[in-house]
Structure 1
Amino acid sequence: MRVSVDGAEVYVGQGSGHGTGTAILLLHGAGMDHTVWTLPARHFARHGFQVIAPDLPGHGRSAGAALDSVPALAAWGWRLLDQLGIRNAIVFGHSMGSLIASAMAASAPERMRALGLLGTSEPMRVSDPLLNAAADNHPAAFDMANTWSHSARGRLGGNPQPGMWILAAGRRLLDRNRPGVYAADLNACNRFDPATLTPPLSCPVLVIAGEADQMTPIKAGLAVAGRHTQCNVVRLSGCGHSMLGEKPNEVLEAMRGLVGRVGSPG
């Protein structure tokens, strides 16, 4: 599906379905696109939920310039839902997407049915070598990020999804970035001030953390979880930051648990 937000065309994945139940917004991370959510998007769409998995501005099939601040991306997320006529939603975000999801909750908590944070950290600092390489559009930025995003086991090959080589898939996604997009994403993460976030939310919150995550270490995810009163934590043994690729079934099961608490299929 393609819609217009702020005068720019936005591609929205729907999981190959057109459900009419509770809306589920899926926000991808830095340098990624909607395809990282393929398994959960298809699962929830086929169970009657209204899946919204956008390519963020300047990413994937979406037009426009990449936005370089989390608050701007959060405001854009609500404008996207407004354009689709959606009042409230269950919102999941991975990595940078988790910051966007948290900022959306801070700006409009009454519209948040539940919040799911995958591979999260507040703040989300980015190393200088990675920032500098991305600023120069140097391939080393993609090499560093792709290596650090996967656990040692994940880098060896083999995957629960037949035919999937997650290390190569991650690199291929990063290679598709237009010049300047990855740098904008990393700067958005690095500059984000968690002091702007809301006090504990009244809606259910889920944190999914990889125990071998080098990008957003598990202790950071647990600290985020401790900020919320209604928060469940799922720890993924031996899993790196790219949990949607390394542990797809476990991630989906955790997401199903949250959706089952507050969502209704169409």
Structure 2
Amino acid sequence: MKVAANGLSFEVEDSGPAGAASPVLLVMGLGMQLTAWPQSLVDALVAAGHRVIRFDNRDIGLSTWLDHLGVPNLLWESMKLRLGLPVRAPYALTDLAADAFGVLDALGVASAHVVGASMGGMIAQRMALAAPQRVRTLASIMSSSGARGLPGPQARVLQVMMSRPKDRSEPAVLAHYVRLFQAIGSPGYPEPEPVLRQRILDSVRRGGYHPAGSARQLAAVAADTTRAQALRELRVPTLVVHGAADPLVPVACGEDTARRIPGARLVTVPGMGHDLPQGVVERLLPPLLEHLRLGSP
């Protein structure tokens, strides 16, 4: 269904009983649609009594695309970031956090558990900083504090990320994303290629191929340079989950996030990369369900 928030339109999936006392908002990462949350994870949360809300972030999937804002020069902006200069972005992570609150407002949800993956974890952190009274608990999965000096993606992953499909045809886009997700995937829980290909194909056919939106989201991540210091003031119950084998956002980033947030619990998953295959979901669910009980009535 569609909801309106912040002058934009957002595609939302609302699962479980609308009157459940313990809503969970799932916030997905860079360039990823709400369908990237595994259905098995959603079903397990619903079975535990939660109302589960997922949505497409701005600039991706079936939510509003902001192509009128132009495409940032990521090479130039990354150079500025390394030099400690301000990064220009068409919008900020705080805007994406406001979008998430807007989705909750549209659904009449005053407060929720907030679970974010990758960039979604950064958005979730921003939500908890902006309005802690609305965030019952925070779960930051395969994400980062954004602190300067943390390690970045492995060289082989960067090479794939910097490449582009040879054209915008469905086979070319599919081949590109298969390479990317194989590069960042969990070595301990490899997803069979036919399953991976079908998942990517379903995603492309649902929400299209929109690299300009991903570029604007990435610029917002790069421009968010004050979050790391602010996390020391956070007083929301926090779970940090990170893969020990993450080649895109190394485990040091999750460790740093947990160190900065007072009282945060860190769970490191051996063999987990930067994705959520079924084996990882099975490792993730026990600590996550335990964590969600902290802020539930």
Normalising by the smaller structure, the TM-score range is 0.7 to 0.9
179-188 or 22-31: bigger deviation: 179-188
Match of 1:189 among 221, 235, 247: 221
- 1:201-240 to structure 2, matched below 5 A, reads 201-240=234-273
Q: Is the 8 A contact 2:178 2:200 kept in 1?
A: no
Number of positions where the alignment pairs a residue of Structure 1 with one of Structure 2: 259
Identical pairs, percent? 25
Structure 1 residue 122 displacement after superposition: 2.1
Distance 1:69 1:107, change over 3 A: same
Find the counterpart in structure 2 of residue 262 from structure 1: 295
Structure 1 residues 218 and 174: alpha-carbon distance in aligned structure 2, compared to 1, 3 A threshold: farther
Query: What's the offset of the Cα at 1:118?
Result: 0.3
Which residues of 2 match residues 17-166 of structure 1 at below 5 A?
17-37=17-37, 38-65=39-66, 68-123=91-146, 133=163, 142=177, 145-155=180-190, 157=192, 165-166=195-196
Q: Which amino acid letter does the alignment assign opposite residue 34 of structure 2?
A: H
| TM value normalised by structure 2 | 0.75
- Shift in alpha-carbon separation, 1:243–1:214, aligned structure 2, 3 A: same
Q: Given the superposition, is the C-alpha separation of residues 154 and 172 from structure 1 closer, same or farther in structure 2, using an over 3 Å criterion?
A: farther
Task: Give the whole-Å Cα distance in 2 for the aligned partners of 1:137 and 1:106.
Answer: 41
The answer (yes or no) to whether the contact 1:131–1:186 under 8 Å persists in 2 is: no
- For 2:3, the aligned partner's letter is V
The whole-number CA distance in structure 1 between the counterparts of 2:220 and 2:158 is 14
Q: Which SS does the other structure have where 1:212 is aligned?
A: coil
For residue 137 of structure 1, report the CA deviation from its aligned partner.
8.7
Q: Give the Cα separation in 2 of the matches to 1:18 and 1:205.
A: 25
Work out whether 1:169 is the aligned partner of 2:199: yes
CA gap 1:113/1:107 in 2 versus in 1, 3 angstroms: same
Alignment deviations for residues 33-59 of structure 1 (CA, whole Å, 9 cap, x no partner) = 112222222222233322211111232
Provide the rounded CA distance (Å) in 1 between the counterparts of 2:190 and 2:42: 25
1:5 matched to which residue of 2? 5
User: Which deviates more, 86-95 or 164-173?
Assistant: 164-173
Unmatched segments (≥5 aa) in structure 2: 68-89
Q: Which has the larger radius of gyration?
A: 2
Deviation of the 1:13 alpha carbon: 1.4
Distance 2:12 2:99 in 1: 13
Shift of 1:146: 2.0
Deviates more, 1:45-54 or 1:88-97: 45-54
Distance 1:77 1:96 in 2: 13
CA distance in 2, matches of 1:253, 1:68: 36
Question: 1:189, 1:2 → 2: CA distance?
Answer: 25
User: Do the aligned residues in 1 keep the contact of 2:115 with 2:139 (CA within 8 Å)?
Assistant: yes
AA at the equivalent of 2:184: S
Q: State the alpha-carbon separation in 1 of the partners of residues 268 and 292 from structure 2.
A: 18
Structure 1 position 31, deviation (Å): 1.4
Identify the residue that residue 161 of structure 1 maps to in structure 2: none
Name structure 1 gaps, 5 residues minimum.
Answer: 159-163
**Cα shift at 1:22:** 1.6
1:107 counterpart letter in structure 2:
A
In the superposition, relative to structure 1, how do residues 167 and 119 fare at CA in structure 2: closer, same or farther (>3 Å)? farther
* Structure 1 residues 209 and 184, CA gap change in structure 2 (3 angstroms): same
Quote the offset at 1:203 in angstroms: 2.1
SS of match in other structure, 2:241: strand
For 2:285 and 2:277, the matched residues in 1 are separated by 8
